[in-house]
Structures are given as C-alpha cells and as structure tokens.
Amino acid sequence: MSDRQPGLPNVLLIDDEPVNMDLMERFLGKGYNFVRASDGEEGVARAKNDKFDLVITDNQMPKMNGVAVVKELKGVVPVIMVTASPAEADREMRKENLTVPVFSRPFESLEPFQKKVAEMTKNRPR
C-alpha cells in the first residue's frame, strides 16, 4: 500500500471477480485507498499483515468463502459483505454466531452501502 494517500481510509476489497472490485471502487469514489485480494486466503493474510480500516468481501469465492473471512478477521478489522446470495451468507453467519453488515449485489440503491462504509471508516485511527 505504498501509494496510499495519507488521511484516507484504507479499504481491502476481497473478491474473485475483478469487475466486482472495479465496481466497488467506482461506487465508493476517490475518498478511500483501495487494496485488492482475489480470494479469501489472500485477503485474510493481507488484512493481518497491514493496517486496514475496513474489509469488503464477497461470500462465494474459491479457497475461503466470505463467512470464513469474517470469522478469521473478527476482532482484527471491521468487515462488510457484499454478495449475490445474502440469505445464504446470513444463514452461514448465524451458524457461526457472526454478525456483519451484508449487502445484496446488485444494489437496489447505493446510498445505504455508501453510508455504511463511511460510518464504519469514520473514526478509525490511521
């Protein structure tokens, strides 16, 4: 993350589909420093080895799904899940006694997602 802009929140995007990460960056705008990971294992390793204000993860990915990512990062960094299968993700997280915001993709409206990201990164120490 050597090219990050000071003062901006650092957001790790975890998704096996690059187009989804492109969309997240476009939806959230220039007010964040983005780093990408192409699967859950890579994302967890990056999150544990660098300083992030927020992780945004997909659920359905190879190697490690989003629920496993949430479990691994509990207490390390806040996480938001964006997935095409929110009911499945909620069900899996309840089994593991995990709670994070889950947003359905495609978005019906971007505003709730954008507000939640801003809220979760607002007062994080940098």
68-118 pLDDT, tens per residue? 999 999 999 999 999 988 888 888 888 988 999 999 988 888 999 999 999
**Residue 109 covered by a domain:** yes
Q: Could you tell me if residue 63 is inside a domain?
A: yes
1 located within any domain: no
Q: Which domain holds residue 37?
A: 10-121
The count of structural domains within the chain is 1
Question: Is 70 domain-assigned?
Answer: yes
Q: Is the pLDDT of residue 26 over 80?
A: yes
Residue 77 lies in a domain: yes
| pLDDT for the residue 71 | 96
| Domain-embedded: residue 3 | no
pLDDT in tens, 31-74: 999 999 999 999 999 999 999 999 999 999 989 999 999 999 99
Look up the pTM and report it. Answer: 0.92
The per-residue pLDDT for 124 is 65
Output the pLDDT for position 5: 84
Alpha carbon distance 105, 67 (integer Å): 16
Domain holding 98: CATH number? 3.40.50.2300
- Please say whether the beta carbons of 83 and 66 come within 8 A: yes
From the number of C-beta atoms within 10 Å of its C-beta (0-12, 13-18, 19+), residue 42 rates as middle
